[in-house]
Amino acid sequence: MRLSTRARYGVRAMFDLAYFGQGEPIALKTIAERQGISDNYLEQLIAPLRKAGLVNSVRGAQGGYTLGHPPEDISVGDILRVLEGPTLPVECLIEEGEEQGEHCANADNCITRRIWSALRDSIDRVLDSMTLADLCEEADNPTCCRLAGSGKGENER
């Protein structure tokens, strides 16, 4: 249940792209240095992001990467789903919406399955509610770190 560095690096890279690159392509090396990530490694993370259309690439000199969609249309969940298979725990769940009496292998203990299902939903809800635009906003006027205020009800929606 630990989240890989793939995920963290990926999100940071995407944030970097949203925050610093305004339409202009940014070289991978720049991102890697700014975010303190191995550029060799980041290169491998950005490949699937490109294939998923989350970033566009410009080859050649002065090339680099740009966001594939506007920042408000890219959620953290989108990034995570690309970088680590299905976002959720446990893989046996039949695809959502298909609750037509379908059984997966261990449907016998659907009691515990409901736990993972609820967990998955909760995780997705959180991750999908945060977009790159939100992160940029947050970066500009941070509500953390400077006196936490322990604002417990902030993103209540």
109 contributes a contact to DNA by CB under 7 A: no
139 contributes a contact to a second copy by CB under 8 A: yes
**For DNA, which stretch binds (CB under 7 A), given 23-31, 93-101, 108-116, 137-145?**
23-31
Give least dist CB 106 to DNA, A: 12
38 contributes a contact to a second copy by CB under 8 A: no
SS3 content of the chain, % helix, strand, coil (to 5): 50, 5, 45
41 contributes a contact to DNA by CB under 7 A: yes
**For DNA, which stretch binds (CB under 7 A), given 16-24, 25-33, 70-78, 118-126?**
25-33
CB 88 within 8 A of CB 77: no
Cα–Cα dist 59/56, whole Å: 10
From DNA, a second copy, none, which one binds at residue 58 (CB under 5 to 8 Å depending on kind)?
A: DNA
39 three-class SS: helix
Burial (CB count within 10 angstroms: exposed 0-12, middle 13-18, buried 19+), residue 13: buried
Residue 78 in tokens: 């989108």
Residues of this chain, 85-124, that bind a second copy according to CB under 8 A = 85, 87-91, 99, 106-116, 118-119, 122-123
